[in-house]
Structure 1
């Protein structure tokens, strides 16, 4: 009487356990960069080296993107690279040169970026392959809308693995 007469349906525990065990693995593949991205750090391409140094130090950032007028990333500058340049260029403690040099001159390659629909695992693999701490996230028009970093990966991926 327990099965069909009282309206209670019996479910095999083996089947339930299998579906529960596979579900996190499927969900982690569906997790996209757009759903977990953070706000990007950026300046526009008319910013000077001083502007970059000021923003990085005021906000305690370790990187900053340089965008054109449409919001498309033209480059990414890491704080350590800026410090190295300052150490080489500073003469008699003068930093006046930083106001005159556009920050875009510190960039030699466009940054590696992915789309909002890119799976988070794929972005993580790209970050590992290219030794990056952060990767830019672009919208359909190619404008920077977010960033995913190692901290973001560490926050979201373990939920599905453990």
Structure 2
């Protein structure tokens, strides 16, 4: 009987190593979702319209080359609109460039980045999604908590 326990352990170890290697092979490019983006020439009105028309919770602003300049969340837009209590007409939305709503370029990952690394970045930086870019920095897609929950549980069980 003593021989059976180490054999079982070895089999579990081999299976565990195989699962570990398999999960490390999943890249962001393989599992990413479509990114929601508008050009950097978009106005705040364009952002509000796109978010409400498509029921999105976020949108990326990209430059002429498709490189993400920033990300705008629907809640941030609502906060800005709420602060405009003196003049609530929509004229200011047409005149204000959406780029004024972004503060810094978003943290991004490459298509070749392992999904586990993207998950770790989201946890460390308290993000719910990351843009996926190619080697030139052009926006390809997005990975999020929901991406993680769709693809990682089979390796955890």
TM-score, normalization: structure 1?
Answer: 0.87
Q: Distance in 2 between matches of 1:109 and 1:141?
A: 19
Question: Does residue 58 of structure 2 align to residue 63 of structure 1?
Answer: yes
CA contact (8 A) 1:32 1:117 kept: yes
Structure 2 residue runs without a partner (length 5+):
1-6
Q: Which secondary structure state, in structure 1, belongs to the residue aligned with residue 105 of structure 2? A: coil
Call closer, same or farther: CA 1:89–1:25 in 2, change over 3 Å. same
Kindly report which structure 2 residues correspond to 1:39-78, keeping only aligned pairs within 5 A, or say none. Answer: 39-78=34-73
Question: Does residue 31 of structure 2 align to residue 36 of structure 1?
Answer: yes
Call closer, same or farther: CA 1:82–1:37 in 2, change over 3 Å. same
CA contact (8 A) 1:25 1:161 kept: no
Q: Which secondary structure state, in structure 1, belongs to the residue aligned with residue 80 of structure 2? A: helix
Structure-2 residue corresponding to 1:27: 22
Matched positions, count: 151
Match of 2:119 among 116, 121, 124: 124
Question: Structure 1: which 4+ aligned runs deviate by more than 2 Å?
Answer: 12-22, 90-93
Q: Which deviates more, 94-103 or 82-91?
A: 82-91
Structure-2 residue corresponding to 1:107: 102
Q: CA RMSD in A?
A: 1.6
CA drift at 1:21? 3.3
Q: Distance in 2 between matches of 1:159 and 1:71?
A: 34
Q: Distance in 2 between matches of 1:127 and 1:59?
A: 25
Q: Distance in 1 between matches of 2:17 and 2:101?
A: 47
1:107-147: per-residue Cα shift (whole Å, max 9, x none)? 11100101000000000000011111110000111100010
Match of 1:80 among 75, 86, 90: 75
TM-score, normalization: structure 2?
Answer: 0.90
Q: Distance in 2 between matches of 1:56 and 1:110?
A: 20
Question: Does residue 132 of structure 2 align to residue 137 of structure 1?
Answer: yes
Question: Does residue 154 of structure 2 align to residue 159 of structure 1?
Answer: yes
